[in-house]
Structure 1
């Protein structure tokens, strides 16, 4: 089904890559210059509540009054929703510096599941990781006492993270492989992993659990045939493509999409198409029948009926 009834809400910054909505309907996002913005439910007021000094990406509600921030430059952070100086939760994990902190999900007990997209290329060089298929991304878990362990490694540009509504599993998007994997946390399958969604026709980005119990997946762009060709080139030729100006590299399409997926992997909601004035849709958040979209490149968020 195509997108209908989409409303753009301008923000005073570039690249509101993720969005999260609190109990009062206020919308939070982070922009490229490091600011964390809080937007009133009607979109008419925008407050800057913090500045990470880096590049904030994934955001989550954290406890009763904080916001969790995945900052690809600064690591895993938290800040009061009323504003203030961000505090650092992690800059390294499992013996390795966090190079590309990207997205997260928070369990009821405060456990944080989050991604480090690549051990080779920082987030601004995401195209290069997709070209080289480094398989160096990881899904990490931070316990309430601050200890961190690795749940999954060897991921192809680990990106969005979402917990099942009953917290039986955690799902992680692999943008470079066009799939979503999951790690089982409870029940007979605890400690095992499998594929939740495979062979997607688009690159999955941020994912989130909606108030409807579905896992929502943002599709930033259709798969690019030229990228598949480049990936098969010998290493020296791939390196030449990586060093080329961005406008010469395989580019993203303007078609975007979102999926609403049941815990058993059935796609029960889908929107695909172009949104006038809005592309590279990197985040989707469902709350009370509304969908909220973020973008890596626009100067607006978007809101649409589910």
Structure 2
């Protein structure tokens, strides 16, 4: 009996040490989490959201208002929904067959979408879907995530991972988890020229490149680096810039944030909204410089993986890094708050997995 137990123990140890996993973890130094202090002092200003039904759809990951005054919402089914700002007259505007995570409108009213399963798409005002790009220099755009369109027509995209494509790894959550656990920092910022049908790399070396917006003068890109809790400022004119190398063309605007920064959205009065999909997790940070331990943990059933708690959190900031508003819901009743879509009278809260669209009256949380 003892011999059998010893053999089983050897097999178990061998499994946790040597069973193949899809990641090759890279060691990095995670800064100590700041917690909810200072400008991020815990509050409940995001609690008690009013909800708009999405008719059995879920995951309003990106929300934007079109020139027609209607809200457009990308959801998990691959649909893009369209509805009035008060939630009425909900309809399916388009279906991409994938999962749109971010989009913007060009000057012709086309919806330019980053579909994590398909590529960069253009959706006409009547809902016709056209592929713009899914490769750059024969290299696949594996994880298109967020999009912003400049006034000159240039399209800027975050390609979150050069290693893990959602279409290959069971979806966006699975692929993002693998990329962030690995920390190989293969995320990129791309520029696509629709007139020339050409793409180039603006910057690379980001640990899960995510939300993206342009500065008011359109000379700078603000980019969320989800895997390392940072927001970057990157010059539009940068070319294949490795952000791990010091350069006047890239600087960190926010470092060591209290959660995983997700989407970025332009709001009124020149403010920029940022959402945190999840708060920090002490075990995950502890494993940052322990690649072997991360491999071992990945061999456990998912129920035993260290996962961040659910915590609602969004903030607004200026282009020079001043935090203007910080709204939280420690209960996490509305899950994975990825950002805020600000209209004249409302704040619509984006989410990875919510089954409804949350909103708040602006005056109740921002004042006049």
Contact kept? 1:131, 1:230, Cα under 8 Å: no
Give the match for residue 337 of structure 2.
281
Which moved further from structure 2: 274-283 or 55-64? 274-283
Contact kept? 1:62, 1:68, Cα under 8 Å: yes
Residue 69 of structure 1 deviates from its aligned partner by 1.0
Distance in structure 1 (CA, Å) of the matches to 2:322 and 2:137: 34
| Larger Rg, first or second structure (1 or 2) | 2
Indicate whether 1:143 and 2:193 are aligned. yes
Contact kept? 1:17, 1:58, Cα under 8 Å: yes
Higher helix share: 2
Contact kept? 1:128, 1:242, Cα under 8 Å: no
Indicate whether 1:222 and 2:279 are aligned. yes
Contact kept? 1:203, 1:223, Cα under 8 Å: yes
Residue 109 of structure 1 deviates from its aligned partner by 1.2
Indicate whether 1:264 and 2:320 are aligned. yes
- Which among 42, 57, 64 is matched to residue 86 of structure 2? 42
Contact kept? 1:252, 1:280, Cα under 8 Å: no
Distance in structure 2 (CA, Å) of the matches to 1:182 and 1:111: 18
**Alpha-carbon distance change, 239 to 81 in structure 1, aligned in 2, over 3 angstroms:** farther
Residue 103 of structure 1 deviates from its aligned partner by 0.5
Residue 230 of structure 1 deviates from its aligned partner by 3.0
Give the match for residue 155 of structure 1.
206
Distance in structure 2 (CA, Å) of the matches to 1:216 and 1:139: 19
Contact kept? 1:30, 1:36, Cα under 8 Å: yes
TM-score, length-scaled by structure 1: 0.92
SS in 2 for 1:231: coil
- Which among 131, 144, 149 is matched to residue 88 of structure 1? 131
The C-alpha deviation readout for 1:4-43, integer Å capped at 9, x for no partner, is 5621112131212111112343111122221111121110
Which moved further from structure 2: 123-132 or 213-222? 123-132
Distance in structure 1 (CA, Å) of the matches to 2:345 and 2:220: 24
Indicate whether 1:248 and 2:304 are aligned. yes
Distance in structure 2 (CA, Å) of the matches to 1:276 and 1:21: 26
The C-alpha deviation readout for 1:235-289, integer Å capped at 9, x for no partner, is 3x32232344433222232212111111111111211224664111123222225
Which moved further from structure 2: 166-175 or 141-150? 141-150
Alignment of 1:4-83 (within 5 A): 6-12=49-55, 13-83=57-127
Moved over 6 A (4+): none
The C-alpha deviation readout for 1:122-167, integer Å capped at 9, x for no partner, is 3332112111111000011112422211111000100000111221
Alignment of 1:232-243 (within 5 A): 232-235=289-292, 237-243=293-299
Give structure 2 stretches of 5+ with no counterpart. Answer: 1-42, 166-171, 238-246
Higher strand share: 1
Which moved further from structure 2: 131-140 or 13-22? 13-22
Contact kept? 1:159, 1:206, Cα under 8 Å: yes
Which moved further from structure 2: 23-32 or 273-282? 273-282
Contact kept? 1:3, 1:275, Cα under 8 Å: no
Give the match for residue 301 of structure 1.
357
Q: CA RMSD in A?
A: 2.0
Distance in structure 2 (CA, Å) of the matches to 1:211 and 1:94: 38
**Alpha-carbon distance change, 24 to 176 in structure 1, aligned in 2, over 3 angstroms:** same
Contact kept? 2:186, 2:205, Cα under 8 Å: yes
Which moved further from structure 2: 92-101 or 71-80? 92-101
SS in 1 for 2:287: helix
Residue 223 of structure 1 deviates from its aligned partner by 0.7
